[in-house]
Amino acid sequence: MYAQMVQSEATQDDPEKLAAFQARIDAGEKIEPKDWMPEGYRKTLIRQIGQHAHSEIVGQLPEGNWITRAPTLERKAILLAKVQDEAGHGLYLYCAAETMGVSRDELTEMLLDGRMKYSSIFNYPTLNWADIGAVGWLVDGAAIMNQVPLQRTSFGPYSRAMIRICKEESFHARQGFDAIRKMAEGTSAQKKMAQDAVNRLWFPALMMFGPSDKDSVHSAQSMAWKIKINTNDELRQKFVDQTVPQIEFLGLDLPDPTIKWNEERGHYDYSDPDWSEFFEVIKGNGPCNVDRLAARNKAWDDGAWVRDGLLAHSRKKAARQHAAE
Ligand code: FAQ
């Protein structure tokens, strides 16, 4: 159905319609699902929103891994609530993507057979409890840096989903900072765990913003359509500038010895992540890619009886209604 939709849309890209569409974007109007849109706009949104939704769902796995091992009842309750929020974010985003004519099942199938991506960060393991603090603080922190501007994205349903998601992500980042702060201010063994978490997750967090601007395939068109509001490097720099003082406040060592305040630029200088590692991870060769997809495939297969049951129930209900009419 998705392939059919894309083909039938291709006929609509006439120059006059394109110019009128761009004028609406330039005037800051929101595009709604029933409005005319270029096929490329629709495809880009399905790719980005779908990928974002998958990230929220796959992102539950590294954190869910620690629910049974949280150190206190309070931390367990907070983590449970956070992981549930991520499932909710996935659902808002799948709903936003569905308004463009692609179903949630189709999107899920594309994730499960590797045709769609999810964020590179979730292919890294969470090895100690401090990683859970670091995920909330660094990973949700990076996610917010990217998502706050997306509240102003040009597609109405995506923009509205982002407003709610950002509120919840802010709570996530604060709980993460609070958790890692406890570790950083704890015993020397706890402080060591916090440092280890920051050392391992720093560069993967920087990768979340995507490749450097010179290698970004979609940024120019996505920014012209206001699907993206900032470039990948702009957001990465903002994240570094916000996070370095927080690492210093925690009394932890900086995970990158090249980080240095640059008076002239008014920003921190820093080293890029290893981009060859990034491209390997998004090709499916990261430390946890196989496990993550296996877990999602298992969940999908295990849930088949629920989907079949719901479908049978709704078919029966429709048949009963039909007979009564
Ligand atoms: N991972 O041309 P660009 C979260 C791909 S939410 C994997 O620059 P674009 C919450 C990209 O798809 C995290 N792939 O691409 C949470 C493209 O390949 P394609 C998710 C990546 O789209 C916290 C190629 O590289 N957030 O964490 C990544 O213009 C804790 C070229 O790249 C969003 O999805 C990557 N990091 O910019 C949940 C936000 N970066 O598709 C649980 C919305 C790039 O042509 C626990 N998305 N690629 O095959 C975006 O803002 C954009 O899609 C970017 C990438 C900025 C991610």
Q: How many CA atoms lie within 13 A of 20 on its CB side?
A: 9
Residue 3: the pLDDT is 43
For residue 117, report the distance from its CA to the centre of ligand 1, in Å: 8
Per-residue pLDDT, 8: 42
Residue 96, H or E segment:
helix 73-98
Q: What is the mean pLDDT of the chain?
A: 95
In whole angstroms, give the CA distance from residue 11 to residue 17. Answer: 11
For residue 142, report the distance from its CA to the centre of ligand 1, in Å: 12
In ligand 1, the atom with minimum distance to the C-alpha of 62 is 46
Check whether 6 has a pLDDT greater than 80. Answer: no
pLDDT band at 230 (very low <50, low <70, confident <90, very high): very high
Residues 6+ apart with CB under 8 A from 92: 161, 164, 165
Which residue puts its alpha carbon closest to atom 44 of ligand 1? 210
- pLDDT tens per residue across span 62-108: 999 999 999 999 999 999 999 999 999 999 999 999 999 999 999 99
- Ligand 1 neighbours, Cβ below 6 Å, are 47-48, 51-52, 55-56, 59, 63, 86, 117, 119-120, 135, 139-140, 143, 146, 207-211, 216-219, 222, 228, 232, 282
Terminal-residue alpha carbon distance, the chain: 31
Rounded to whole angstroms, the Cα distance separating 5 from 39 reads 9
* Digit-coded pLDDT (tens) for 299-315: 999 999 999 999 998 89
Distance 214 CA to ligand 1 centre (A): 16
The CA-CA-CA angle for residues 57, 246, 243, to 5°, reads 55
pLDDT tier for residue 12 given thresholds of 50, 70 and 90: low
| Rounded CA separation 103/5 (Å) | 12
Mean pLDDT (whole number) for 149-169 = 96
Residue to mutate (ligand 1; options 55, 60, 144, 225; most atoms within 8 A of CB): 55
CA atoms of 15 and 214, how far apart (whole Å) = 28
- Between the CA of 184 and the centroid of ligand 1 the distance, in Å, is 30
pLDDT at 21: 97
Contact of 153 with 219, CB cutoff 8 Å: no
The CA distances from residue 316 to 94, 308, 309, 312, in Å, are 27, 12, 11, 6
Assess contact for 153 and 159: CB atoms under 8 A. yes
